[in-house]
Amino acid sequence: MLQLDTSLPANNIARDEELDGHNPLRHLMDDSELDGVIASEGLARPSGSLSELLTVLPQQSQSIQDGLLTLSFAHMWEALPLPISISLLVDASPGCGGLAWPAGQILASYLVQCGPEYIKDKNILELGSGTGLVGLVVGALGNANIWITDQAYFFTEYTSPLLPIMKQNVCLNRLGDKVAVAELNWGSPIPSEIPRPDIILAADCVYFEPAFPLLVQTLNDLSDSKNEIFFCYKKRRKVALLVSFSVAVGPSS
């Protein structure tokens, strides 16, 4: 079951997200901040102690140079470069989608630890990709067919288009043979070029409450008894709304 945190006052949300932008991993620094969760149909990993969570996110480093954010992911797979490094063009303008948020980094790290064989030859779809981080990491991890998607429009006039950022990041990391960029507007029909996914990925997609029903509809349209959903988020929103969202999506099994 998705876990919820009631400890964060509503008036701290904006400040919390501002701090996340400067240091996306700051909430891992002590036990009181351990509120991330990965929920998956068939493979659930609830939050635990700091030491337990750091096994999901080991030895990760980040640097910013020449306007690019570089994230490195350690692993134990001999056939892969050590570490896996991903460069991202980010967009810090209002709209939130163009940043590398904590949940995306945690989900990417978790999938790296799952290893190349876990994703081999699978169709993998990421929803609300933003910069494309999670899908790009999966592309660097092994042989899979990956679609990173986001909406061509959003609910505010201040949001910058994210699809061009994702396309540039695919080129930056030379993953064009593995990772495709596609428009997928939540609540709309699934584009015909996107096949039925074996794995669905979503990270920090629930920061804007009016989008919840549309995201739920898209997840329902995509999911069946055979595919697996990894949904990772930092709990920072109104408890009642998150409860409604988790009930609509359903518990992990």
Q: 3-state class of 154 per DSSP?
A: coil
Joined together, the tokens standing for residue 16 give 């919390």
Side-chain-side CA neighbours of residue 89 (13 Å): 12
Each residue's pLDDT tens digit, 157-211: 444 577 888 999 999 999 999 999 999 999 999 999 999 999 999 987 766 667 7
Q: Please give the DSSP secondary-structure letter assigned to residue 29.
A: S
CB 230 within 8 A of CB 119: no
**Assigned token pair, 183:** 């428009």
- pLDDT band with cut points at 50, 70 and 90 for residue 28: very low
Residue 224: is its pLDDT beyond 80?
A: yes
Order of strands across the sheet that contains 36-40: 36-40, 228-234, 199-203, 123-127, 145-150, 179-183
State yes or no: pLDDT of 237 exceeds 60.
no
Query: Does position 17 have pLDDT exceeding 70, yes or no?
Result: no
- Point out which residues pair with 126 in neighbouring strands: 148, 201
On the question of pLDDT at 236 being above 80, the answer is no
Average pLDDT of every residue of the chain: 73
CATH class of 62-232: alpha beta
Which part of the chain has CATH 3.40.50.150? 62-232
Residue 229 pairs in a beta bridge with: 200
